[in-house]
Amino acid sequence: MAADIYARIRSNPSFHRFVKRRNRYAALMTALGAIAYYGFILLVAYDKDFLARKLMPGMVTSLGIPLGVGVIVFTIAITWIYVRRANGEFDAINAQIIEEARK
């Protein structure tokens, strides 16, 4: 019975649209995270003077500290956005496709 349901799911055009959509979204979120992370690393490697600038005259904190924290906060935010969409929209579509296959 499980093999029959699996075959119906695999032949369902909605399933293929769902997988394509979910994979595209995951790739976008991965690319955003990679751009933020590698962009910061490239700044560290090639533009140390930019990161060493003080936020304001007389301050000890340089621009690199808030940018580094920003990368961390950004990756946490996009992870939260992805999980929220996956647990809401994607899970609902997944359940609907499985229900259709069981009929």
Mark out the alpha helices in 53-90 (DSSP H runs).
64-85
The confidence band for 59, taking pLDDT boundaries of 50, 70 and 90, is confident
Cβ-count burial of 68 within 10 angstroms (0-12 exposed, 13-18 middle, 19+ buried)? middle
Token readout for 12 is 């369902």
- What confidence tens digit (pLDDT) does each residue in 68-84 have? 999 999 999 999 999 99
φ and ψ at residue 100, rounded to 5 degrees? -60, -40
Distance CA 25, CA 20 (A): 9
Distance CA 32, CA 102 (A): 37
The confidence band for 58, taking pLDDT boundaries of 50, 70 and 90, is confident
Question: Which residue in this structure is represented by tokens 């910061």?
Answer: 40
- What confidence tens digit (pLDDT) does each residue in 20-36 have? 999 999 999 999 999 99
Q: Is residue 62 helix, strand or coil? A: strand
Domain spans, the chain: 2-102
Distance CA 89, CA 42 (A): 35
